[in-house]
Amino acid sequence: MQIGKVIKRIRTKKGLSQSEVARRSGLSLSTVHGIECGDNKEPSFRKIAAICAVLDFSLDELQQRIQKSRSDNLSQ
C-alpha cells in the first residue's frame, strides 16, 4: 500500500478532512490531496512528518502500517 492510502485511512478514522490536516500542518490542500491520491509518489520527509504530527501518529507506526500492508499484498 502506498503511503497516501495509509495516511488517508488514518485521517478518516480520526474524522479529519484534508482541509483540516492541511491547515494544521501548514501544508497546502493540494499537497495533502496529492499525497493521499498518489500524485505525489515521493513526498518529502518534512511533509510526511507534519501530517503525522497532526494525526498524532508516529512515523514508526506509519512505516509499520505500510510494511504490513505490503506483506499482506504479497501473500494474497
User: Each residue of 5-47: pLDDT tens digit?
Assistant: 999 999 999 999 999 999 999 999 999 999 999 998 899 999 9
Assigned CATH class of 3-71:
mainly alpha
- Structural contact between residues 22 and 28, judged by C-beta atoms closer than 8 angstroms: yes
Q: So where are the chain's domains?
A: 3-71
Torsion-angle region of residue 42: left (phi > 0), alpha (psi -120 to 50) or beta? beta
Identity (one letter) of the amino acid at 46? R
- Structural contact between residues 1 and 62, judged by C-beta atoms closer than 8 angstroms: no
Name the pTM for this structure: 0.85
Instruction: Please state, in angstroms and rounded to a whole number, the distance separating the CA atoms of residues 73 and 75.
Output: 6
